[in-house]
Structure 1
Amino acid sequence: MYRLSSLIFLLLGCLPLLAQSPHGDDLDMDCVKCHNPGGWNINYQTIQFDHSKTDFQLEGTHANVDCKLCHSTNVFDQAPMDCASCHLDIHSQSVGNDCVRCHTSETWLVDNIPELHEANGFPLIGVHSNLSCIECHNTDSSNLRIDPLGNECIDCHQDDYAATQNPNHQQAGFSTDCIECHSPLGFGWDSESINHDFFPLTEGHNIQDCTQCHTTGNYSDASPECVSCHQEDYAGTMNPNHSSSGFSTDCVACHTTSPGWMPAVINHDFFPLTQGHNIQDCTECHTTPNYADASPECVSCHQEDYAGTQNPNHTSSGFSTDCVACHTTNPGWMPAVINHDFFPLTQGHNIQDCNQCHTTPNYADASPECVACHQSDYDQTNNPNHLAANFPTDCVACHTTNPGWTPAEFDHDGQYFPIYSGKHREGEAWNDCVECHANPSNYADFTCFTCHLQPEMDDKHSEENGYEYLSSACLQCHPTGD
């Protein structure tokens, strides 16, 4: 019995040693997922290990590689994951050791060279798109080193810059940033690819011979000012005479770069040439060779029009000689819009025939006073009789400019006696003006006794000294009707 117990103890103690995995303590899976009971050989067709759940997925050619090529020891998690551990760096560390920057797990061939260059800040455009790699990256005889180059033009084109004589780039102090003058989309250094946007070479300026403008070896000496090349053209022009007229020497103020200086578009915004002023012959207004002599004042050209106008007579009426006060530049001076704000022509005053108010040739004679036109209306009005009532002759005190004089607003309470407020309005105390103004021919005459009868008034005032039964006495003691 003692021997049997010792044997069992020995077998149980050895079981952990017999079951210990040679793949390391971190691999926790059943052996039968890779091995079979017949031996330790692995059948790759039936292996059940899922490599996609690790930190290194088997993609492309990696999926067909024998496990032992990467896992040289039986401890699987000791396999390195960086490219350089398995793959020889034929580029000699010139591009780093991260192969996936350029290569994929499918093939070593690189088919995204333009994208790689663009990501590196140097897109392969223009002539650069047709170059072989070794034309720029030629640092060793094997053509396998791809040492990084600078992204600046001068990094590759220093010799081109130094050797160029027409123009001499160094002497002229040209920028070493080639794209300031040459297009990166071009396929050569010819003049057509020069970026001359700082001074556009259009039409008459589209000159192939640079020396016509750049007269010295230093191309930076050329001035962008028009007169630096066109002083003789400016001085020699007589129609109009640019010098005597004081025209600007900045040719683009009037001209484009069209050959022959035509068409010329003069910026006449200081005096817009619209409608009747749209005159093609400049000499109609500019009567002297010095175009600067022409005055912008209307009367300088239109004095005869002003003096000859009779309907209305501008001279006798004292109208302004500034034509634009009433007229536009329409030919024939019509329509004329007179600024009549000093006396608004609204409603009943909106009269088309000026002569209804302006009865004399001198329009300045017309008075703005209402009675100047409406004296007869004032005199003939009987309900109420304005003349007898001594109403003011300033019609706007009661009337608007509505035709028919209504509605009329008379301030009886403020100017005379409160009839629209207080006791004389309570209970609709009166209905018609004649209740107080019994004499329709004289509204200055009034009576209180239509409503306030004598016996009753005598009783109420029996104790008042100096009491008189007179309407004037009533107003004197009761000016507000209380």
Structure 2
Amino acid sequence: MRSLPLALAALLLAAPAARAADVFSPGDLSRAHAALSGLQNCTKCHPRGEQLSQAHCLECHRELAPRVQAGQGFHGRLAPKERDCWACHHEHQGRDAALVEWGPGGARRFDHARTGAQLGGKHQAVACDRCHDPRLVQDSAVRKLLAEQPRRKTYLGAPALTACASCHFDEHRGQLGADCARCHRDGGWKPAPGFEHARTSYPLTGKHARVACAKCHAPAAAPAAEPGALTAPVHPDAFARYRPLAHASCLDCHKDAHEGRFGQDCARCHTTEDWRRIVSGAGAERAFHQKTRYPLEGAHQTVACVACHGPFRGEPARFKPLAFGACTDCHADAHAGQLARQGPAAGRCDRCHEVRGFQPVKFGLEEHEKTRYPLAGAHRVVACAACHPQEPRLADRLPEATRAELARRGRPARVSLAVYALAGDLARCETCHADPHQGQLVRPQGCAACHAVDSFHRVRFDHQRESRFALAGKHASAPCAACHRPEPGPSGAAVRYKPLAVACAGCHQDAHLGQLAPKEGGPTDCARCHGADDWKKTRFQHQPPFTDYALTGKHLKVACAKCHPAVQVAPGTLARRYRGLPRACEACHADFHQGAFRGFEPTRFSR
């Protein structure tokens, strides 16, 4: 019997260490703990002479220790006697054994409330990995652990269920803050049961309560989503505009049906219940004002009393004495001093405006006749805005003291941006109009040398006296565009007027293809033979000085084409030949003597 233990001891000493491990190990470690296999690593989990302890497990799983100590999360919320790791995580079950026992139904049936975070609504159907994504981990210790062990899987460090923006894209693009739970619930994004318009700065009353949200909160173009985001927007191209949204005045949303004739405080007469129902007594409240030195008329009838009488910041209400002799006693100069005049008319806005409304103005053609530029001709039908454009910088000309006073009275600073004080010499067309000729026809008297204000297209230009090329013959009936064509210029295309060539070759193609050009070179002098009245009627005589080959005898009756045939100089192009023609008789005529008089010299026999 004593020989059996000795034999076993000898066998163990002779076998390799790996063989010994197989004998003593209750089974292979899981893949996660495979690095701890072997007899030399047993004491890392099984201390000599001691049982397994939670402390040994937490020496490796450092991310769990703070939560256990604080009583947080699934492990921290377990009862102390239930915290033995090996009670749930069984080892030595093989390489592919799962270390987490989820219980009946697996991970999908896990009671998430045991972690301290109760899943509700649509969160219950979300796959675990959607929330437990390493990219969503916010805990610094867990992030460090994952950085050191990239293949490590953990359910720790997921964002809190109340931090919606950690997982979900903000469909409001930051307009309403990050506390989504103020309006929404996890049962669904729509509707938003926590939202009440009555708690906003604009409670809905009357018919406003029935208006569709999109009527006031119109879609706005959405910025591009950040690359690499975990979640994409439901509506990537547009989002509802909630802030900022102007709502201080009815006119921020509604068109003024009265076109400014009754001021801008719509609520003095209308309510949200029904805009057609006028508030009773609004006019009666001011009946007493008609007995004062300043009866209210036009748009003044709808102005709030406080607008004229106060109280204003730092000043109590005042009813007399109040200045009202001129509009500027109450109103700021909306034209920023452009229309100020010297003398009795200075500051009199009623030269153009009426108390029934700022617009329309009563400044027309008759009033324009009294300005330094009376309107004439086509200028009388030009829209005012064409000569008086908008200039945003005019708003900067309102004095700061005036702005401060308007702000103190709670009134807006309104400035007309139309330019009325025009600079430059208004007698010169180029002060307002661009030069369509791009400097070709500069004259001391300017555009008026040719054009009149009644019509730009009716000109006074005399081609015979005012140009270096008097029109004669058929030139007089040629359309202008035949000689003056558009050409590229420094400011775009412009009709070319000067300089232009006056020689025939400058406009006309040489029908003779240079045959009749001077021998010393240069263009053909067409005028030697042709006139401007009819180019087919020529002055050419087949005698000197036109040619050194004078026609005599029967040659005078020969048709020109007999000696000057048409020659094809290019496909589809014919030209008469005038130069390089033979002069010997036999070049044109047949020898009826058949060579009998070849070499005959008549002068020798005449002696």
TM-score with structure 1 setting the length: 0.33
| Higher helix proportion | 1
Give the alignment's TM-score, normalised by structure 2: 0.27
Q: Which has the larger radius of gyration?
A: 1
